[in-house]
């Protein structure tokens, strides 16, 4: 199996303001191009694209290709069951996912976004036992979980659940030594437990695809034809215990770029890794929101604030300010026309509860408001 996976969470849209409006024609062509190159791993989830991602998978993949042509991964949405869900609810969701995806079984199935809080939900609902039962029934082939917490929490979960076959971790060269994300420590913990690793957020929600001029020049001087995003994906794929690196591809250009270099992938050299360490130092010096644009914060926002879009703009403008350029106020106004302004935040903090990165979203929105609204 090639190391590049297709993540179904950042597909092209027919309406940029509405995540459920996936451009199925374009997505279908992208999937065809991906599979034609011999790649197979497709990753979806209950939450992606406002609940439409699994239906899109059926439309562009499972209804069009033989079952042996692809490896399909899906996830149990534990956040849906916090404080109120029952064991019967998770059974209904699992069956719903099979139907929406149009398959009789999942090749990979994960408990979604395990952290200290969601792990308590999993224990209350006995989710590991439930999914082990589904594995025995042939409804899933391999059991794992995606993870957003400290390495010590990961160690505890893997110790208590050795039946776990693989772990999906957030790994990229910017987060590698970050004490909040602990990419390196989590990777090493998984390896110590003998688990294979699937990588998510290798480009950190797109942040590592657009670099400050000095950082991009550093990389272009080494490999003029490598895109910044390809450097990030190569970094994750170079780790020996990584099985697959997920990329949430949004257009055909990204598909062709990624499949082009991942088909004959070779790990980074030590000199290339050192170059990325220098880029990480440059990025770390910028005041930036560590947002990966997963959009879990958007659903339920009482003021319909496009939080990830504001954060992406804010991060982009930090690079512009470093070069003496003005901020993009007009772009902010365009985004605000489709949702609430940053200053409309009522500090309910539901966004912070939903954020896998544990960001202080309300505080960052205040900074965005000061930057663009005066």
The terminus-to-terminus CA distance of the chain in angstroms comes to 52
CA 296 to chain centre: 11
Do 125 and 86 touch, CB atoms closer than 8 A? yes
Do 260 and 229 touch, CB atoms closer than 8 A? no
What is residue 52's predicted lDDT score, i.e. its pLDDT? Answer: 97
What is residue 293's predicted lDDT score, i.e. its pLDDT? Answer: 86
Dist. CA 26–CA 29, nearest whole Å: 5
Confidence of residue 354 (pLDDT cuts 50, 70, 90): confident
Pair of tokens at residue 132: 């082990």
Dist. CA 321–CA 45, nearest whole Å: 37
**CB-count burial class (<10 Å; 0-12, 13-18, 19+) for 265:** middle
Dist. CA 343–CA 153, nearest whole Å: 36
Pair of tokens at residue 105: 């079984």
Give the model confidence (pLDDT) of 2-60 as tens digits.
999 999 999 999 998 889 999 999 999 999 999 999 999 999 999 999 999 999 999 99
Phi, psi of 76 (to 5 degrees): -85, 120
Question: Where do we find the tokens 């914060």?
Answer: 297
Confidence of residue 191 (pLDDT cuts 50, 70, 90): very high
Q: Which residues 6+ apart lie within 8 Å of 243 measured at CB?
A: 1, 3, 166, 196, 197, 198
Q: Which residues 6+ apart lie within 8 Å of 165 measured at CB?
A: 142, 143, 144, 195, 196
- Most distant CA pair in the chain, distance: 61
What is residue 137's predicted lDDT score, i.e. its pLDDT? Answer: 98
What is residue 83's predicted lDDT score, i.e. its pLDDT? Answer: 82
Percent of the chain with pLDDT over 90: 78
Phi, psi of 113 (to 5 degrees): 55, 55
Confidence of residue 213 (pLDDT cuts 50, 70, 90): confident
The average confidence (pLDDT) of the chain is 94
Read off the DSSP letter of residue 22.
B
Give the model confidence (pLDDT) of 229-284 as tens digits.
999 999 999 999 999 999 999 999 999 999 999 999 999 999 999 999 999 999 98
76, β-bridge pairs: 111
What is residue 257's predicted lDDT score, i.e. its pLDDT? Answer: 95
What is residue 134's predicted lDDT score, i.e. its pLDDT? Answer: 98
246, β-bridge pairs: 5
Do 351 and 297 touch, CB atoms closer than 8 A? yes
Average pLDDT of span 367-374:
88
Give the model confidence (pLDDT) of 48-65 as tens digits.
999 999 999 999 999 999
What is residue 1's predicted lDDT score, i.e. its pLDDT? Answer: 83
Dist. CA 210–CA 203, nearest whole Å: 10
What is residue 16's predicted lDDT score, i.e. its pLDDT? Answer: 84
Q: Which of 163-172, 196-205, 207-216 comes out lowest in average pLDDT?
A: 207-216
**Where would I find the H helices in the chain?**
24-36, 53-57, 87-101, 116-125, 127-136, 151-160, 183-192, 213-220, 228-237, 252-262, 270-284, 307-322, 329-337, 350-354, 361-373
What is residue 229's predicted lDDT score, i.e. its pLDDT? Answer: 95
Phi, psi of 165 (to 5 degrees): -100, -25
What is residue 93's predicted lDDT score, i.e. its pLDDT? Answer: 98
CA 277 to chain centre: 22
Give the model confidence (pLDDT) of 301-341 as tens digits.
998 899 998 998 888 887 777 677 788 888 999 888 878 89
Dist. CA 193–CA 159, nearest whole Å: 8
CA 97 to chain centre: 19
What is residue 146's predicted lDDT score, i.e. its pLDDT? Answer: 98
Pair of tokens at residue 144: 């794992």
Confidence of residue 351 (pLDDT cuts 50, 70, 90): very high
Confidence of residue 222 (pLDDT cuts 50, 70, 90): very high
Confidence of residue 216 (pLDDT cuts 50, 70, 90): very high
140, β-bridge pairs: 106
What is residue 252's predicted lDDT score, i.e. its pLDDT? Answer: 97
Q: Give the strand pairing for 166-170 and 196-200.
A: parallel
Q: Which of 30-39, 53-62, 74-83, 352-361 comes out lowest in average pLDDT?
A: 352-361
Do 293 and 205 touch, CB atoms closer than 8 A? yes
Average pLDDT of span 153-177:
97
What is residue 277's predicted lDDT score, i.e. its pLDDT? Answer: 97
Dist. CA 94–CA 19, nearest whole Å: 23
Residues in the chain: 374
């Amino acid at each position: 199996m090639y190391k590049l996976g297709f993540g179904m969470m950042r597909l092209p849209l027919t309406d940029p303001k509405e995540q459920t409006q996936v451009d199925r024609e374009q997505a279908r062509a992208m999937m065809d191009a991906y599979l034609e190159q011999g790649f197979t791993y497709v990753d979806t989830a209950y939450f992606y694209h406002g609940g439409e991602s699994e239906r899109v998978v059926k439309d562009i993949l499972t209804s069009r290709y033989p079952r042996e042509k692809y490896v399909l991964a899906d996830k149990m949405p534990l956040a849906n069951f916090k404080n109120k869900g029952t064991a019967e609810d998770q059974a209904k969701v699992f069956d719903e996912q099979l139907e929406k995806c149009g398959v009789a079984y999942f090749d990979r199935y994960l408990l979604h976004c395990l952290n200290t809080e969601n792990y308590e939900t999993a224990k209350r609902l006995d989710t590991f036992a439930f999914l082990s039962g589904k594995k025995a029934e042939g409804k899933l082939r391999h059991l794992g979980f995606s993870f957003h917490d400290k390495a010590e929490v990961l160690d505890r979960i893997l110790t208590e659940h050795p039946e776990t076959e693989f772990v999906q971790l957030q790994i990229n060269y910017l987060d590698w030594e970050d004490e909040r994300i602990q990419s390196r420590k989590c990777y090493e913990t998984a390896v110590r437990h003998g688990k294979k690793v699937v990588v998510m957020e290798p480009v950190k929600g797109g942040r590592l695809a657009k670099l400050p001029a000095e950082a991009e020049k550093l990389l272009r001087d080494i490999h003029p034809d490598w895109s910044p995003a390809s450097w990030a994906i190569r970094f994750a794929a170079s780790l020996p215990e990584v099985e697959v690196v997920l990329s949430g591809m949004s257009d055909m250009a990204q598909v062709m770029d990624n499949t082009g270099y991942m088909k004959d992938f070779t790990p980074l050299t030590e000199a290339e890794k050192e170059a990325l360490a220098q880029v990480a130092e440059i990025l770390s010096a910028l005041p930036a929101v560590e947002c990966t644009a997963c959009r879990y914060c958007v659903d339920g926002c009482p003021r319909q604030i496009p939080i990830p879009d504001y954060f992406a703009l804010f991060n982009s403008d930090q690079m512009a300010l470093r070069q003496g350029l003005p901020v993009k106020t007009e772009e902010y106004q365009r985004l605000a026309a489709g949702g609430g302004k940053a200053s409309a935040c009522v500090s309910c903090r539901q966004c912070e509860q939903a954020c896998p990165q544990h960001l202080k979203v309300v505080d960052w929105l205040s900074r965005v408001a000061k930057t663009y609204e005066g």
